[in-house]
């Protein structure tokens, strides 16, 4: 939110002080005139000087009062314009867009029924593989040991799963594409996309997914109900086990078809940077205001963030829907995964669902997904 310095109002003229000072100056002017003129002084000259001093004092008082009144007027104008700017900022900040299609593939499954069981904690966590380099969680349908090859297979699976979910429903070619993953995986994704959806014409190079920054762009693009365009957001990643991860190395694939109308809606979300001036609870409260909610969402989808102890006091339920056991380390697909699960939750339960994720440009990003009826 934009901040503005307070307008400094001039001090108001104090009547008693001005009257006292004026009376003293009038008397002093009379005495000085009498002393200067000595014996030649007469009453009319002394009175003229005293009256002139009264008029001069009155003029100064008038100018000082006008200055104060103008200062107050400018202060009110300043506050009104600042409030208009803040209101305009909120109108932009609260813009939303919809998710028409959501495809999610991970070690725990690929079908909507799999993710509903995961959300309800009825799904058994996938088995952890122990390799020479460390622990990992893998998708069972991919058998290659080469990470690039696995990502290419993931990209193909993603398109085929999307094709199955859409069935025979027609699809207009998306106007823009956002991708998170390797270029080799993108190429495999495009080849399978053209084969499965001949009407689609993807670009040679996509836009790069940048977390909250991309969400902001989507919210701005689809703010108008007349906007009929579709944007495709997708990504896949397979991570190698390493000591840098506190969780097993995971792999996953995500796809969204975004537009102005859909089953669920979401805003650009909020960002959090640790500071003395703002707590994470302030940010979650702002996210609720951004989504026009009067209370916290019952569910919040996230991965654990042990480096952020403030999470425990953020005001949201951050313990019941942690996804570590089902995904391992999601890498740069963190936000896409948790937003997808939050969207599936919101659609299935017809209740708003929160999400918290790492962000490529900030410490954390968070927001709320709402079912379409609550838009």
Is the distance from CB of 321 to CB of 342 less than 8 angstroms?
no
Instruction: Choose between 32 and 85: higher pLDDT.
Output: 85
Q: Which of 25-29, 132-136, 355-359 has the lowest mean pLDDT?
A: 25-29
Residue 47 has pLDDT above 80, yes or no: no
DSSP conformational letter for 307: T
Report pLDDT for 375. Answer: 42
The C-alpha angle with vertex 257 and arms to 256 and 263, in degrees rounded to 5, equals: 95
The arithmetic mean of pLDDT across residues 49-62, rounded, is 67
Instruction: Choose between 31 and 318: higher pLDDT.
Output: 318
CA–CA distances in Å: residue 357 to residues 97, 181, 275: 19, 17, 18
The arithmetic mean of pLDDT across residues 2-21, rounded, is 66
Percent over 90 (pLDDT), the chain? 56
Architecture of the domain made up of 94-374: 3-Layer(aba) Sandwich (3.40)
What 3-state class would DSSP assign to 233?
strand
**pLDDT tens track for 223-233:** 876 667 899 99
- What's the pTM? 0.83
Report pLDDT for 229. Answer: 86
Contacts of 52 (CB under 8 A, 6+ apart): 29
Residue 295 has pLDDT above 70, yes or no: yes
Contacts of 325 (CB under 8 A, 6+ apart): 125
- Tokens representing 317 are 């339920």
Closest CA to 327 of 298, 302, 344: 302
Measured distance CA(222)–CA(81) in Å, rounded: 27
Residue 178 has pLDDT above 90, yes or no: yes
The arithmetic mean of pLDDT across residues 194-217, rounded, is 94
The arithmetic mean of pLDDT across residues 359-369, rounded, is 95
Measured distance CA(357)–CA(365) in Å, rounded: 5
CB atoms within 10 A of CB 76: 12
The arithmetic mean of pLDDT across residues 255-262, rounded, is 93
**pLDDT tens track for 121-176:** 898 889 988 877 788 899 887 677 789 999 999 999 999 999 999 988 888 889 99
Percent over 70 (pLDDT), the chain? 83
Is the distance from CB of 71 to CB of 13 less than 8 angstroms?
no
CA–CA distances in Å: residue 216 to residues 33, 84, 93, 100, 257: 75, 21, 8, 18, 16
Instruction: Choose between 49 and 374: higher pLDDT.
Output: 49
What 3-state class would DSSP assign to 279?
coil
**pLDDT tens track for 56-68:** 666 776 777 787 7
Residue 45: is it exposed, middle or buried by C-beta count within 10 angstroms (0-12/13-18/19+)?
middle
Q: Which of 87-96, 110-119, 139-148, 302-311 has the lowest mean pLDDT?
A: 139-148
Contacts of 62 (CB under 8 A, 6+ apart): none
Average pLDDT, the chain: 86
**pLDDT tens track for 318-351:** 999 999 999 999 999 999 999 999 999 999 999 9
Residue 249 has pLDDT above 80, yes or no: yes
Contacts of 251 (CB under 8 A, 6+ apart): 106, 107, 136, 137, 138, 139, 142, 150, 151, 154, 236, 237, 238, 239
Number of alpha carbons in the 13 Å side-chain half-sphere of residue 162: 28
Report pLDDT for 40. Answer: 52
Report pLDDT for 265. Answer: 94
Q: Which helix (H) or strand (E) holds 235?
A: strand 231-238
Residue 357 has pLDDT above 90, yes or no: yes
Report pLDDT for 67. Answer: 77
């Amino acid at each position: 939110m934009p901040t503005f310095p307070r307008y400094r109002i001039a001090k108001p003229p104090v009547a008693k002080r001005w009257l006292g000072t004026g009376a003293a100056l009038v008397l002093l002017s009379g005495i000085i005139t009498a002393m200067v003129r000595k014996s030649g002084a007469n009453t009319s000259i002394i009175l003229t000087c005293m009256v002139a001093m009264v008029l001069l004092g009155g003029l100064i008082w008038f100018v000082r009062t006008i200055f104060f009144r103008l200062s107050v007027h400018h202060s009110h104008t300043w506050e009104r314009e600042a409030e208009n700017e803040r209101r305009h900022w909120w109108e932009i900040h609260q813009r939303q867009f919809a998710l028409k299609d959501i495809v999610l593939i991970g070690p725990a499954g690929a079908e909507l029924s799999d993710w509903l069981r995961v959300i309800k904690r009825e799904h058994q966590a996938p088995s952890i593989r122990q390799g020479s380099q460390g622990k990992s969680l893998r998708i069972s349908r991919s058998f290659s040991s080469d990470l690039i090859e696995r990502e290419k297979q993931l990209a193909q699976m993603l398109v085929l799963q999307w094709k199955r979910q859409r069935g025979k429903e027609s699809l207009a070619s998306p106007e823009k594409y956002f991708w998170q993953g390797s270029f080799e995986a993108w190429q495999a994704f495009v080849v399978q996309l053209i084969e499965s959806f001949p009407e689609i014409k993807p670009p040679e190079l996509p836009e790069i997914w940048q977390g909250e920054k991309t969400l902001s762009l989507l919210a701005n693009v689809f703010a108008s109900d007349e906007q009929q365009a579709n944007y495709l957001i997708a990504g896949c990643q397979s991570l190698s086990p390493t000591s840098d991860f506190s969780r097993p190395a995971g792999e996953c694939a995500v796809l969204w078809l975004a537009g102005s109308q859909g089953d669920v809606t979401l805003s650009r979300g909020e960002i959090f940077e640790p500071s003395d001036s703002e707590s994470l609870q302030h940010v979650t409260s702002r996210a609720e205001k951004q989504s026009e909610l009067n209370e916290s969402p019952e569910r919040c989808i996230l991965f654990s963030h042990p480096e952020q102890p403030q999470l425990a006091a953020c005001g949201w339920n951050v313990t019941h829907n942690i996804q570590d056991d089902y995904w391992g380390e999601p890498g740069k697909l963190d936000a896409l995964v948790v937003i997808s699960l939050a969207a599936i939750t919101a659609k299935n339960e017809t209740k708003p669902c929160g999400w918290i994720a790492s962000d490529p440009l900030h410490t954390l990003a968070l927001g709320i997904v709402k079912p379409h009826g609550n838009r």
